[in-house]
Every structure is written in C-alpha cells, then in structure tokens.
A = this chain, B = another copy of it.
C-alpha cells in the first residue's frame, strides 16, 4: 500500500539502499506514512525494553506490531526492522511466551503472522516478574545470610552492622510487598 518500496518476494541478501531510509534523529520530527509511524513505535518500545533490561530488539518487534493494523510475518518484520532472522525468531518466541504477541496461521497460508496484544501489561510483567522479583528475592536471602557472619566480631561492630542489615532487609520487604500493587495498577 503506502510507499513500502521494499518489495520482498525473495530473501535475497539485501543491500538496503539506505539513501532514503535513515533520517537524522533530530530533524524529521514529522513522520510520514505508515512505515515511519511503525519505525517510530518500534524505536519507542525499543527504548522501553532497554530501560527495563531487555534486549531492545524485543521492544522493536513489539512496537512494530503494535503499530500494525494487520498481522505481520516474520519476513516482513525482518525486512521492516532490518534485523536478522535469528533475532526475529528469538524475539518473537520470547514475546509469544510473554503473551505480548499472538501468532496466527491464516487459512491455507504457510506463514505464521504475528500481532501485538494491545494490553501493555505483559510488557510490565516481563520486567517485574522476570527481572525485579527474582533478583530481589535472591538478594533478600543473601542479606539474611550475612547475619550469620556477625558472630565473633567486636560487639559494637555487631550492633552497628546488625542494625544496617536489618535496615536493608526492611527495605527489601517493602519493595517485595509493593511490586504486586504496582503491577496491578499499571496492568
């Protein structure tokens, strides 16, 4: 439809005539056409993913799909984002696992097409459940373990350190308590 000049039809090694596609980030504040909006979304979500400690390709893919009225095949994703098939394959798998993206095989088609789930919750949960929660839990255990090492130290040192360890532990507890609430709210 719109000026998508990238005629696929074959996976020949693309050379990507870049004359037109990479605009300077500063200027060109007004995107033009579907492809540009999709690129913009991809970029925004890439940053978000990166912010949350995920590979930015995950975000790019999600963003592209989020800005796609129609589901896209892996090939189209690879083409539009200019990423490798490997990255696309793994990214899509992860996104499907996270329930952020839905695969569908249309009647008689061989290709699987993907569309974004529009709820943003998966994106947040991805972070909370897979990054924050486990790591905080781990830290909490290690913190508790530290108290065992106190025995045998100078009494005044013991007291100081015990108080500090307890302080850190208290903070951990708070964080673990509130994460579910945060998620609930953002979901």
Contacts and interface: CB of A to CB of B under 8 A. Distances in A.
Nearest to A30: B148
A146 B40 contact: yes
Interface in A136-187: 138-139, 142-143, 145-146, 148-154, 156-157, 160-161, 164, 167-168, 171, 174-175, 178, 182, 185-186
23 contacts: A1-B154, A2-B131, A4-B53, A30-B153, A30-B154, A31-B146, A31-B153, A34-B153, A34-B161, A36-B149, A37-B161, A40-B146, A40-B149, A41-B168, A43-B142, A48-B135, A48-B139, A53-B53, A67-B161, A69-B157, A118-B167, A120-B168, A174-B185
Interface of A: 1-2, 4, 29-34, 36-37, 40-41, 43-44, 47-48, 51, 53, 66-67, 69, 118, 120, 130-132, 134-135, 138-139, 142-143, 145-146, 148-154, 156-157, 160-161, 164, 167-168, 171, 174-175, 178, 182, 185-186
